[in-house]
Structure 1
Amino acid sequence: MRDRLIDEHTGEQIEDPVTRVLRDGVAVGLANNTVLIAKDGTKRSIDDSGAPIRDGKGNIMGVVLVFRNITEKRRAERELLKADKLESLGVLSGGIAHDFNNILTSILGNISIARMFAKPGDKIFERLEEAENDCMRARVLTQKILTFSRGGAPIMKTAFISELLRDSASFALSGSNVRCEFSIPDDLWRVEVDEGQIAQVISNLIINASQAMPGGGVINLLAENIVVDERQGIPLNNGRHVKISVTDHGIGISKEHFQQIFDPYYTTKRGGSGLGLAIAYSIVKRHNGYIDVKSIPGKETTFSIYLPASSKEALAEKESGEKIRGGKGKILVMDDEKMIRDVVGDMLGILGYEAEFAKDGAEAVELYKKAEQSVRPFDAVIMDLTVPGGMGGKEAVRKLAEIDPEVKAIVSSGYSDDPVMADFRKYGFSNVVAKPYNIKELGDALYEVLK
């Protein structure tokens, strides 16, 4: 078998440039979408040109060919295009998610308050509990939307992810006719991840794999420690990584769909959203990782995720439970939305705190300054990060620190252009509570800074 030139998009063979030069007697070039298939089946994107070699009388006595391997350049261009598409979608989706989370904060807060006044076992208690659970599911949905936005930065922590991989895959396959076989070493390296987002990636990949095998079957999930270097052709920094591979033995991915599978809203499934793989791509990208796919149509498909390994120690898990922790103290709440100020004020009152309110950062700074000069200063501040047309929490907390270097500020937001929610201490905050939140989550956040 000899080397062949094909069109990357159509798969059709391209005329040999030597033949063209000899026939036409002029220099020729290939189209930008030319692929060279070597004798061993290796495919390379190439850019080339051919020109005739003439003797003293002008007769063609040969052909000179110049081939340039542009495979990595093409891959980089495709990665950039995918990133641009997600960035455009992020501008729109981030704003929608922010507004929706504000509304959801009011709904969830009021439901959690009402539930406290109902008796367990009563019909109204059960209805409120169901409504609160539905709000939590809606919160997961807005988090998926936020993944596209510039404010959807992962909230990282160092963790062992073996259990996360098993739990996410098993949960995604609940009730299906597909099972997952795991190959995860005991010495899998730690990674620095947002566990919720990575669980979402694994869930999306497992669901995709399951749908590729409608008659049932086995999905293989492999995790391994690898050291990346430039010889492997993986667009990552050299060094230690954890590689996670999800393989199904289903219908595979056809050539015409291969370049578009990570595009937002692109789907070949009836009733599909086209967001699953786009979300997975965006999350992995934000973790400084890489996601790749290989497929043999009619046989199998493997998605591989590469995440940088961490040398940090894994954090101990916090205790969790249904107990609502109250307290005492004077709390300043800054939010531009009245419905948020109202519901947070009610929750604080039930928790045992006294609340005062500001519509933006400038007003919050003035109120805090006056309180510092009184006999009853504020014990803590809860501030919205983004205030349209006004001073937000990021700037306000710097000014508060000038007034009181020991200020205890909690940042709260449903969306942000800055990575403050992911690294709040770096910006001067003591804790974080992401919108939407219920009365227990608010109580826990205050207890952590005031204990």
Structure 2
Amino acid sequence: MYAKEDEKVAKRLDNAEKASLRAQDLTQQLLTFSKGGAPLKRLSSIKDLIQEAVDFSLRGSNVRCDLILDNELWPADIDSGQISQVIHNLIINANQAMPSGGIVSVQAENAMVDEGCPEVLVALKPGRYVKMIIRDEGCGISEERLQKIFDPYFTTKEKGSGLGLFTTYSIIKKHDGHIDVTSTIDVGTTFSIYLPASDQSLHASASASPGLTAGSGKVLVMENEEELCDVIEGILLHFGYEVVFARDGVEAIAAYQQAQEAWAPFDAIIMDLTIPGGMGGEEAIGRLLELDPEVKAIVASGYANDPIMADYRAYGFVGRIAKPYRTDTLNQALQDVIG
């Protein structure tokens, strides 16, 4: 945020940020596997996700990737962290299947599924899809093992957990998609994935998005971690917001009511779902709605599996943001709400 783009430190900080966000995604996948949870969908470019995931997964590898991506690939409403994990899992599997090196082919194209679609796609509704094909030149998988490949804890590796492909299958199903696999011994393995495409234009969405532009407004942040408050304050002040903090729901409600009575209301409030030993966002939003039915509350949580994050509007929130916070997403969430 403060380093110049042409400085070496900026590049290193950018790489560090990507690595930490990858760790965040991996952690959220473990939570998704252990507790379940709906994906947090947003309009996204699958093409960009594929390029980033391939670059990350094959870094330092002796395996080369052939990317064949449709230039007009349709966008999709997806949880980008989860779909990135799917691609990562499949690329890692392909890499490990070729210990002496080789080529993994990654294709992505637009596909229409009609009523008379092949038997393998009977689980899909007719419509527009983005189809991904990931093919390796590895040792292949026997027909017997292929039947169990998506089962939990089943693995063909000596030190494998058996969770990667099960998690991959679960994520695709929760996106109303389909995944299929074919394999031939000593020839290779091919995974095919279908994800529902969006009717929205990504370019229209991007042009409507102010991105890293200055903001304005008075923001109440409900957060009990002092170190995190310092970070949030720095980000919001940098973009031009006025910020006030509350340690829990009780303080947040009191601060919000006091601001209303002083005719200096808050333009938005960011509320952490979980406050150890105190009132969290779920209880506090109910009381705030009684004070002000028009309250603009954004729910925040590091637990992607929480049902409130997936269906936040049903609980009275008007926006959501995943923790740990990113500069761009924090600013964007507020601009979407405040306008």
TM-score tier (shorter): 0.7 to 0.9
Q: Distance in 1 between matches of 2:5 and 2:133?
A: 45
**2:20 equivalent among 135, 138, 141:** 135
Kept in 1: contact 2:38–2:305 (CA 8 A): no
Kept in 1: contact 2:25–2:82 (CA 8 A): no
Q: Are 1:227 and 2:104 matched, yes or no?
A: no
**2:86 equivalent among 201, 204, 208:** 201
Taking structure 1 as reference, are residues 341 and 171 closer, same or farther at Cα in structure 2, changes over 3 Å only? closer
Taking structure 1 as reference, are residues 360 and 416 closer, same or farther at Cα in structure 2, changes over 3 Å only? farther
Q: Are 1:306 and 2:191 matched, yes or no?
A: no
Q: Are 1:286 and 2:174 matched, yes or no?
A: yes
Instruction: Give the AA of the match of 1:358.
Output: A
- 2:41 maps to 156
- 2:253 maps to 365
TM, length-normalised to structure 2: 0.75
Please list, as runs of the form range in 1=range in 2, the aligned pairs for 1:435-446 lying within 5 A after superposition. 435-446=323-334
Taking structure 1 as reference, are residues 234 and 411 closer, same or farther at Cα in structure 2, changes over 3 Å only? same
Give how far 1:413 is off.
0.9
Give how far 1:354 is off.
4.0
Q: Which has the higher contact order (CA 8 A, sep 6+)?
A: 2
TM, length-normalised to structure 1: 0.59
Kept in 2: contact 1:291–1:304 (CA 8 A): yes
Q: Which runs of 5+ in 2 are unaligned?
A: none
**2:300 equivalent among 412, 425, 448:** 412
Equivalences, count = 334
**1:262 equivalent among 150, 155, 168:** 150
Instruction: Give the AA of the match of 2:64.
Output: V
Give how far 1:238 is off.
4.0
Taking structure 1 as reference, are residues 197 and 437 closer, same or farther at Cα in structure 2, changes over 3 Å only? same
Taking structure 1 as reference, are residues 120 and 207 closer, same or farther at Cα in structure 2, changes over 3 Å only? closer
* Secondary structure at 1:411 match in 2: strand
Q: Distance in 2 between matches of 1:122 and 1:298?
A: 47
* Secondary structure at 2:40 match in 1: coil
Kept in 2: contact 1:241–1:309 (CA 8 A): yes
Q: Which runs of 5+ in 1 are unaligned?
A: 1-111
Kept in 2: contact 1:153–1:286 (CA 8 A): yes
Instruction: Give the AA of the match of 2:200.
Output: E
**1:240 equivalent among 103, 121, 127:** 127
Q: Distance in 2 between matches of 1:441 and 1:231?
A: 41
Kept in 2: contact 1:334–1:341 (CA 8 A): no
Taking structure 1 as reference, are residues 258 and 345 closer, same or farther at Cα in structure 2, changes over 3 Å only? same
Give how far 1:384 is off.
0.7
Kept in 2: contact 1:410–1:431 (CA 8 A): yes
**2:291 equivalent among 392, 395, 403:** 403
Kept in 1: contact 2:104–2:134 (CA 8 A): no
Q: Are 1:276 and 2:164 matched, yes or no?
A: yes
Give how far 1:407 is off.
2.0
Instruction: Give the AA of the match of 2:337.
Output: V
Kept in 2: contact 1:241–1:306 (CA 8 A): no
- 2:64 maps to 178
Q: Are 1:331 and 2:219 matched, yes or no?
A: yes
Give how far 1:372 is off.
1.0
Taking structure 1 as reference, are residues 149 and 395 closer, same or farther at Cα in structure 2, changes over 3 Å only? farther
Identity of aligned residues (%): 47
Q: Distance in 2 between matches of 1:232 and 1:446?
A: 46
Kept in 2: contact 1:385–1:392 (CA 8 A): yes
Q: Distance in 1 between matches of 2:16 and 2:52?
A: 25
Kept in 1: contact 2:32–2:305 (CA 8 A): no
* Secondary structure at 1:344 match in 2: helix
Q: Distance in 1 between matches of 2:4 and 2:105?
A: 45
Q: Distance in 2 between matches of 1:297 and 1:290?
A: 24
